[in-house]
Amino acid sequence: MIVSLIITLRETLEMALIIGIIFRYLRKSNQLEYKKYVYWGIIVGLIMSISGAILINSLSILFEGRTEQIFEGIIMLIGAFLLSTMILWMLNQKNIAHELEEKLHMQVKNTHKFGVFSVVFVSILREGIETVLFLGAARFSEENNSLLGAILGIIIAIILGIIIYQGTSKINLKLFFTITSYFLIIIAAGLLAHGIHEFQEAGIIPIFIEHIYDINFILDENGTIGLFLKGLFGYNGNPSLIETIVYVIYMVVIFSIWRYLKMQKMQQNKEKSSKIHPNEISLPSDQISS
């Protein structure tokens, strides 16, 4: 439940912020006649995303036994990969709002109504497909209540999106995305290890050592707390050697890349600030940047 809530909260809030940026741009540029194309982009993007969710769910029902384990393992690995790349991509972005407004400006300037629709559609579809794949992977790792968590996440995100758009509250988006990014990295590591476990169960990956350690007598993975941690972080009380190695390597690599990108960004900001003339007045940066 918690995994699904975090995923839909973050992804839906990203969708809400994208929509807010688009409407804000149209209002500022006095181009409100394009609003209907924005709505159509949102609707079609959501329909395509929901269709993808139905397709994945339908496919999962078709498989049994070994093929089901392989299918679940593939979905988990895809989910872990997309979660990781999405987090690192956002970390490497300088100003998402500015880039989105630039795309819209080019389409509006050339009166490309379909272009405006396309910008919105692609943005919503990308977030929607990511959400569908993440939830598909999370559903296989969580025991129950994944649907409830997903719905709660969507509701909370919509409320936050409305609050931000109306400007009735100052929410620190940078802090929000940083905290959720840490959670999502740990979730991705759990999905990766769980995917490896499914492949081992299917006989695709050798086991070598079935249980490198066993702490289920301390914290049972099938107990109340164990199931909660299993759904949230992919907790396994008796992992195999390969699962443990993959989990540790992933965490080391992903946080090393994270640190490198952060250091690189700090260096770029330092160089940029050193070039600004003392008499120049810098405009406040957009709230939606990483």
Determine what percent of the chain is predicted with pLDDT higher than 70: 86
**What would the mean pLDDT of 179-202 be, rounded to a whole number?**
90
pLDDT at residue 179 is higher than 90: no
pLDDT greater at residue 140 or residue 285: 140
Instruction: Specify the pLDDT at position 285.
Output: 39
The more confidently predicted of residues 110 and 271 is 271
Buried b (16+ CB within 10 A) or exposed e, 146-185: beebbebbbeebeebbeebeeeeeeeebeeebeebbebbb
pLDDT over 70 at 220, yes or no: yes
CA 65 – CA 94 distance, rounded (Å): 46
Q: What is the pLDDT of residues 250-263, one digit of tens each?
A: 999 999 998 888 88
Asked whether the beta carbons of 95 and 21 are under 8 A apart, the reply is no
Instruction: Write out pLDDT tens, residues 159-170.
Output: 888 887 776 556
The encoded tokens of residue 34 equal 């394009």
What angle (nearest 5°) sits at the alpha carbon of residue 188, between those of residues 239 and 288? 160
pLDDT for the residue numbered 96: 65
d(CA 178, CA 289): 11
Q: State pLDDT tens for residues 224-246.
A: 888 778 777 778 899 999 999 99
pLDDT given for residue 70 in this prediction: 92
- At residue 281, the pLDDT reads 38
CA gap 85, 80 in Å, rounded? 9
Segment 267-275 long-range contacts (CB within 8 Å, at least 24 positions apart): none
Q: Give the mean pLDDT of 181-207.
A: 91
pTM over 0.85: no
Among 133, 151, 132, 118, which Cα is nearest to 44's?
A: 118
Q: Give the start-to-end residue ranges of the domains of the chain.
A: 2-271
CA dist 67 and 59 (Å) reads: 11
